Copies of this chain bind each other. A is one copy, B any other.
Amino acid sequence: MDWQTFLSKAGYRLSEPRKTIMKLMETTEKPLNPLGIHRLLREQGVHLGLVSVYRTLELFLSLGLISQVFQQDGLVGYLPSSFGHHHFIVCQNCQKAVEFAGTEDMQDLIQRIRAETHFQVREHLLQFFGLCPECQSLLKDGEKQ
């Protein structure tokens, strides 16, 4: 089911701003934040209130249509997400982000945490940071680590 159908079935309207924002998000590989989306659309000549961007992102997030992406110092933006669990690796140089598949590997760790802390484990936030192939090449001379 595509996102438009999903939105309708959930009782929300398929407005122009929502279509515009989702279209933009689907064509970007870098996490976008509200201000960024607003600026990008302006540059494309699309007029759209900043408030609507906030409200649209809030809605999409609550429906799981997009996911939050973090850098090491906090939330940097949003990206469209397939259903289920979402993990990204984000380039520290250009912020390009790629989603990677699930985490069966996680079960052992979860068991250990349960034993160590006696917490009931319910969710997790897992994200990697590194260099995308392009930036690896760019940085070959210099600070290559």
**Which A residues form the contact surface with B (CB < 8 A)?**
68, 70, 72-75, 89, 91-92, 98, 100-101, 103, 105-106, 108-110, 112-113, 116-133, 136, 145
Contacts and interface: CB of A to CB of B under 8 A. Distances in A.
Contacts of A123: 72, 92, 128-130
Contact of A124 (B75, B126, B136): B126
B74 A74 contact: yes
Contacts of A98: 117, 119
B133 A128 contact: no
Contacts of A70: 70, 74, 125
A125 B126 CA distance: 6
B136 A92 contact: no
26 contacts: A68-B72, A72-B123, A74-B75, A89-B113, A91-B119, A92-B123, A98-B117, A98-B119, A100-B113, A100-B117, A103-B109, A105-B105, A105-B112, A110-B128, A113-B128, A119-B128, A120-B131, A121-B129, A122-B130, A124-B126, A124-B127, A124-B129, A125-B128, A125-B129, A126-B126, A126-B127
Nearest to A71: B125
